[in-house]
Amino acid sequence: MSNLELDRIISSYEGKKGVLIPLLQDAQKLEGYLSKEIMRYVAEHSDIRLADIYGVATFYTMFRLKPQGKHIIRVCKGTACHVSDAGALLDSLRDELGLTEGEDTTADGNFTVMEVACLGCCSLAPVIMVDATTYGKLTVNKVAGILKNYK
């Protein structure tokens, strides 16, 4: 971890109010997640308490406390996707990636699978988002083809 980078982030928010969330969002970009070291460092080099940092980091789903894969796959679990059998899609995706129960990141660190509440593309249900690209009207058989683009 580059402390210089972290120092720059901390100082960019100095003297401003309501900074904790954007500060942590920026800090998370450094390693893709908020490590204990990052959270401690921020607490020690700002006037924000570690308890507040941990409280916010664990409250919002966007903050991750574990290392994540190179590509993030967000599987939409919104209502329209649910009635279009997003569950089966998720199962086959996890199966395709060889994830066992409780795991969300592949052993090679290439993919992390997350479930998200709604991506707002309900008319294309079921939908997944890989990094910033959304794929709609999916079937179980299309999933493997999409993953190939990211290997």
Q: Write out the residues near another protein by the rule CB under 8 A.
A: 17-22, 24-25, 52, 55-56, 59-63, 74, 77-84, 88, 91-92, 95, 116-125, 127, 132-137, 140-141
Start-end of H helices in the chain: 3-12, 20-31, 36-44, 50-59, 79-83, 86-97, 140-148
To another protein, the closest distance from the beta carbon of 10 in angstroms equals: 14
To another protein, the closest distance from the beta carbon of 48 in angstroms equals: 9
What is d(CA 33, CA 22) in angstroms, rounded to the nearest whole number? 14
- Kindly tell me which of 2 and 132 has the beta carbon lying closer to another protein: 132
To another protein, the closest distance from the beta carbon of 116 in angstroms equals: 7
- Sign for the CA dihedral angle at 138, 78, 65, 26 comes to positive
Question: Cα–Cα–Cα angle for 126, 131, 133, nearest 5°?
Answer: 55
- Kindly tell me which of 55 and 67 has the beta carbon lying closer to another protein: 55
To another protein, the closest distance from the beta carbon of 11 in angstroms equals: 17
3-class DSSP assignment, residue 94: helix
- Kindly tell me which of 19 and 110 has the beta carbon lying closer to another protein: 19
- Kindly tell me which of 110 and 134 has the beta carbon lying closer to another protein: 134
Q: Comparing C-alpha atoms, which of 136, 133, 137 is closest to residue 150?
A: 133
